[in-house]
Amino acid sequence: MSLLEGITGPRDLDDLSPKQLVELAAEIREFLVREVSKTGGHLGPNLGVVELTIAMHKVFDSPNDAIIFDTGHQSYVHKLLTGRQDFSRLREEGGLAGYPQRSESPHDIVESSHASSSLSWADGISRAFTMTGQGDRHVVAVVGDGALTGGMTWEALNNISDDNSRNLVIVVNDNGRSYAPTIGGMAHFLNDVRTRRSYRSLYSTSRKVFDKFGAPGRALYRGIRGGTHGFLARLTNNEALYSNLDIKYLGPVHGHDIRALTEAFEQAKNYGAPVIVHAITEKGRGYQPALLDTADQFHAVGQIDPETGEPIEVASKPSWTSVFSDEIVHLAEANPRLVGITAAMLRPTGLHKFAERFPDRVLDVGIAEQHAVASAAGLAFGGLHPVVAMYATFVNRAFDQVLMDVALHKAGVTFVLDRAGVTGPDGPSHHGMWDLAILQVVPDIRIAAPRDATRLREELGEAVAIDDGPTVLRFSKGSVGTEFDAVRRTDDGVDVLREAPHKDVLIVTVGPMAKLGLQVAERLAAQGIGATVVDPRWVVPVPPSIIELSAEHRLVVTIEDGVRVGGIGTRIRQDLRAANVDTAVNELGLPDQFLAHGSREFILDQVGLTPQAIARDVVAQVLGSKIPVARPLPAEENASRLT
C-alpha cells in the first residue's frame, strides 16, 4: 500500500517520518497528474501547494482548527489528506467538487471560492472562537498571492490588526500568479522578496547546514534561517509593511520544504496572535508541461495526456471566448477609443489578443472587480469606451459600481460576461445564473444575449457604439452553438427564427436557448400547435415588437438560462401588463437554488429545460386551460408522442 492510500485523515501524518512526508508529497503529485488529466480540473495550483498543505495539516488539527482556502481551487491536496481520494468523477455529477464543499467533509469550511474573501471569514470565525471561550482553536487562511490584489483582503487586515488576542494564521501562498502572473504594487513587492539573491543564497546555505549536520544542527539551522528572514524583512521593508498592520510576519519560507514550513507553522501556532506566514511556492511544481506553460502554468485543464500535457480532445468548434477575443481586436483596430479591462483573467476572458495587439490599451487590475468597474467609469469620462471582461458570476461583486458609478453617470461602458448561465463542473459559486436578474434592475441598461458566433460579433459591435450608458453582452462557456439564421428581422432588431401560419404560442428565447426553443416548436407542431420562435437579441429593454407579437399569440413561453426569479420572463410579463396585453406567460429558467456541479446538459435536464419537458408542459397548459388554438388539436392519444 502506498503512503497516500494509508492517509484516511490528517492525524495519519503524525506517524510519518520526515523522509516519508517527502515521499508522500511525490506520491500526491503523481496522483494529481494521473487523475486530473482524466477529468480536467485545477492542476497547476494544486501541484504548487503539496508540501504547504502537508505541513499545515501536520501542525494544525482540522477540523477543530478551521482551515480556509482562498481561492478554493487549491484544495485538492487538502481533500486527499482528509480522506477523499476518489477523484474518478472530479467535478462531475455525483463526484467530488472542484472546490471545498461542506456536504463532503467537516474539514471544508468556506465554499464560495470567490477570491479575497477568506480573511473576512477568518476574522469572523476567530472572533467567534474567542467570544465563545474556544481560545484553544486556531483559524488558518491560505491566501493565494493574487487574492492580495482584492480590496476585501485589506479591509479584513485592517480589522484583524485591531485585535491581537486571537489565534489566527494567514498563509500567503506566493507563487507570483493568481491565474496568470499577479499584477500590481503588492505583486511587485512580493516579487522583490522572492527574487532577491540574498534570500536564495542565504536560504540555500542554511538548508545545507541542516542537511549536513542533521538533527544536531537544528538549532544552528534555525538561527541561520531566522537571521535570513529577519535580514530580508529589513531589506525589503516587510517589517515596515506588516508592523504598520501590527501583524507578526514569518518568512519568506521555502514553500516546498516540509521541515521549514512545519517549523514556521509551529511558531505561528504558538504565537497567540495574528501571524502572516509568507511561503514561496511554484505553480505547477514537479510537472514539466505545466512549468513550460508560461501563460497560466496549467491553472485549469481539460482532459490531457499526462505524459505530454497535450489536450486529448481538441474542440471542433471555436469557443464563445475565442470568437469574442478575435472580434474585439477587429473592433479595436477600427476604433482607437476602445480599451479593455479585466480582473486577473486576461486570457480566460479572451482579452489577451487585444493586449498583444495593443498592450497600452488593456488593463489588468488584479482580483478587484469593484475597482475595475469604477475605473471604467473614469475612463469613459475621459473620452474612452471601456470593455470590461469578466465571468458572469463575478459581476455580482461589482453591482454597486455598475449601478452608482457607471449607470448613474451614464457612462458608456460595455460589460462582456463570459461563462453566463449554467457553467457545469465548477459548481454553485461559478454558475453565471444571476446576472440577468441582477443587472436588469439598473436604469437604462441594455443587455444583449447572442445565440451564436455571428450574433456575438454583431451585438458586440452594437454594444461598443453606445456611449450614453452601460451595455452588457453575455455568453456561455464552451463551444459556440449551431448558427440559426432568422426568417426575418423586425424593425427594432428582433430575429424571428420560426413562424407558424397559425399563432398559438410565442417562444421567446434568450441567447443560446434558441436551439431549445426551436426543438420545442417542432414538438408542438407535431401536436397541431403553431409556435413562433424569436430571439430578441437585446433582451433588456424588451423590444416593442415582442409586445406586439405577444398580443397576436395565445400563450408566451420565455426560455432563459438565468434564474427565473426576476429574470427576462418576468420583465416581459410586466411589460405586457403595462401595455394592457393579457396574454398568459410561462417563465422558464433556472430555479432560485444553488445548483451543484455537473455537466451543463445534466443540470438543464434536472431543472426541466429540455425539449420534451417544456413541450409536455405547454401541451398540458393548452389542454388544461382550454386555450383556443388556430386549428383543432389532434387526437388526445397523440400527446403520447411527446414522451
Which amino acid, one-letter code, is at 404? M
Whether the Cβ atoms of residue 566 and residue 440 lie closer than 8 Å to each other:
yes
- Report the distance separating Cα 36 and Cα 21, nearest Å: 22
* Residue 531, strand partner residues: 505
* Closest-CA residue to 382 (of 342, 408, 412, 343): 412
SS3 531: strand
Residue 226's CB is within 10 A of a number of other CB atoms, namely 14
Using DSSP bridges, classify how beta strands 139-144 and 66-70 pair: parallel, antiparallel or unpaired.
Answer: parallel
- Report the distance separating Cα 550 and Cα 504, nearest Å: 10
* Closest-CA residue to 607 (of 523, 472, 513): 513
Indicate which residue of 369, 459, 560, 587 is catalytic: 369
Residue whose grid cell is 486529448: 312
Indicate which residue of 353, 397, 457, 498 is catalytic: 397
Number of H helices, E strands in the chain: 24, 18
- Report the distance separating Cα 624 and Cα 43, nearest Å: 53
What is the distance, to the nearest Å, from the Cα of residue 570 to the centroid of all Cα atoms in its chain?
Answer: 27
* Residue 508, strand partner residues: 534, 558
Instruction: Give how far Cα 158 sits from Cα of 119, 131, 135, 163, 287, Å.
Output: 10, 19, 21, 10, 38
Q: Is 283 a catalytic residue?
A: yes
Please give the backbone phi and psi of residue 537, each rounded to the nearest 5 degrees, phi first.
70, -65
Planar angle of CA 330, 335, 341, nearest 5 degrees: 80
Q: Is 397 a catalytic residue?
A: yes
- Report the distance separating Cα 214 and Cα 194, nearest Å: 27
Residue 502's CB is within 10 A of a number of other CB atoms, namely 14
* Closest-CA residue to 293 (of 347, 342, 243, 372): 347
* Closest-CA residue to 170 (of 160, 180, 162, 183): 160
Q: What is the DSSP string of 584-606?
A: EEEEEEE-SS-PPSS-HHHHHHH
Residue 216's CB is within 10 A of a number of other CB atoms, namely 8
- Cβ-based neighbours of 131, under 8 Å, separated by 6 or more: none
Dihedral through CA 523, CA 524, CA 530, CA 532, nearest 10?
-70
- Cβ-based neighbours of 215, under 8 Å, separated by 6 or more: none
Residue whose grid cell is 544536531: 216
Using DSSP bridges, classify how beta strands 446-448 and 538-540 pair: parallel, antiparallel or unpaired.
Answer: antiparallel
* Closest-CA residue to 140 (of 55, 37, 24): 55
Q: How many residues appear in the chain? A: 643
Indicate which residue of 283, 455, 474, 571 is catalytic: 283
* Residue 471, strand partner residues: 414, 446
Using DSSP bridges, classify how beta strands 471-474 and 495-498 pair: parallel, antiparallel or unpaired.
Answer: unpaired
Outline where DSSP puts E strands in 536-621.
538-540, 555-563, 584-590
Instruction: Name the residues annotated as catalytic.
Output: 283, 369, 397
